[in-house]
Amino acid sequence: MKVALDTVGAEHPDTLTSMANLASTLWNQGDLDGAKALEEKALEVQKRVLGEEHPNTLSSMNNLALTLWNQGDLDGAKALQEKVLEVRKRVLGEEHPGTLISMNNLASTLWSQGDLDGAKALQEKVLEVRKRVLGEEHPDTLTSMANLASTLKAQGDLDGARALEEKVLEVKKRVLGGEHPATLSSMNNLASTLQAQGDLDGAKALQEKALEVKKTGSGRAPPGHNAQPVEPPNNRRTAKGHHRSKRPARRARLAPHRRPGAALRQPKKNPNQPRLRQKVSPSPSSCPPHPPDNSRISNGPTKA
C-alpha cells in the first residue's frame, strides 16, 4: 500500500484497492479496528470522488457494514446495509442477484437485532424471486429456504420450518446424495425441529444416520462440490454464504476492484441466527438463516 501511496496518491483507485485488500487481511486476522479505519478512509474518498451510488462505493459500504456487524455495532451496520439496498433496488432492480444479496444481508442484521418479522419479510421476498428465477432446486434457493426456516423456527412456527427443511433435505438427498456434508447439515436442522415438536423418534433417526456417516468418514464432499450452498459472487473475492454450521461461517466481503453483488461472509454470530451475504446448516437447535452473504469483498463480499 505504501508503494501505491507514494506512486499514485492517496485517492487513486489503485491505492483504494490496496487499502481494501489490506483491510480484508486485517479483518481475517481479527484486527477489526484496523480494518475499520482503512474501510472508513476508502469509503470517504469513494463517496467524494465516485459518488454514493457507484458500485465500488456500495461495495465499500457493504464491507464496512460487515466489520461493524462483527464489532457488535448492529445499528451502524443496518444503516449502511439499508443504504446499499435502497440504491441497488433503484439502480439494479429488485430481482438482481446483488439486490437479493443485500436483502439477505440486511435480514441477517435485523435477525440479530431481534426483528424477526423484518427479517422474515426480506427472506420471503428473496426466496420468492429465487424460486421463480433460479428454480426450487438451485443451491441459492435452498439456502434461502434454510434461512427462512431458521427464522420461522425462532418465531415458534415449527410446522412452517419443518416443511421447508423437509423440502431442502429431499432435494439434497436426491441431488447430492445422502452422505454429502450439506445433506448431513440439513438432517441435523430437521432433527432439531422434530425434537422441538416432540417427535423424538424422528429426530433420533436422523441424528443416528448423520452420526453413522460421520463415523465412517464418508460424509465428505466429492471433488467439485462445496459442502455449503453458495451465494452468488459480488464484486470481490466472494465468500460463499450459506446456511449454518456448528461454527457459523463468516459473511463474505467485497473486493475493491470488482462489481458489487456478492454474498457476505457470515460473521461470528449467535448460533441460532439466520444467515444473511450470505452463509451449511448447523447442529440441532442452531439454525441461523449467513448473509449476509457469504468472504470479504475487495470492491468488487464478497461482502456484497
CATH number of the domain bearing residue 6: 1.25.40.10
- Please give the pLDDT value at position 7: 56
Grid cell in block for residue 103: 436483502
CA-wise closest residue to 167 among 205, 200, 127: 127
- Is 93 part of any domain? yes
Question: Does a structural domain hold residue 292?
Answer: no
* Residue 301: CA count within 13 A, CB half-sphere: 47
Whether 84 maps to a domain, the answer reads yes
In the chain, the number of structural domains is 1
Give the span between the Cα atoms of 127 and 291, in whole angstroms.
13
Does any domain span residue 247?
no
224 backbone dihedrals φ, ψ, rounded to 5°: 90, -5
**282 within domain boundaries:** no
User: Which residue range(s) make up the domain with 74?
Assistant: 2-216
Residue 233's alpha-carbon distances to 22, 206, 297, in angstroms, are 20, 33, 9
Sequential pLDDT tens for the chain (304 residues): 555 455 556 787 788 888 888 988 998 999 999 999 999 999 999 999 999 999 999 999 999 999 999 999 999 999 999 999 999 999 999 999 999 999 999 999 999 999 999 999 999 999 999 999 999 999 999 999 999 999 999 999 999 999 999 999 999 999 999 999 999 999 999 999 999 999 999 999 999 999 999 888 755 544 444 433 323 223 332 233 333 333 333 344 443 333 333 333 333 444 444 443 333 222 223 333 444 443 343 333 333 3
- What grid cell was written down for 230? 453458495
The predicted model scores a pTM of: 0.71
Is residue 61, in this structure, part of any structural domain at all? yes
pLDDT at 11: 80
Report the alpha-carbon distance of residue 193 to residue 173 in Å, rounded: 18
Burial 12-29 (b: 16+ CB within 10 A, else e): ebbbbbbbbbbbbebbee
Query: What pLDDT is stored for residue 272 in this prediction?
Result: 44
Residue 57: inside a domain? yes
The reported pLDDT for the residue numbered 237 is 29
Task: Flag whether 256 is in a domain.
Answer: no
How far apart, in whole angstroms, are the C-alpha atoms of residue 276 and residue 123? Answer: 9
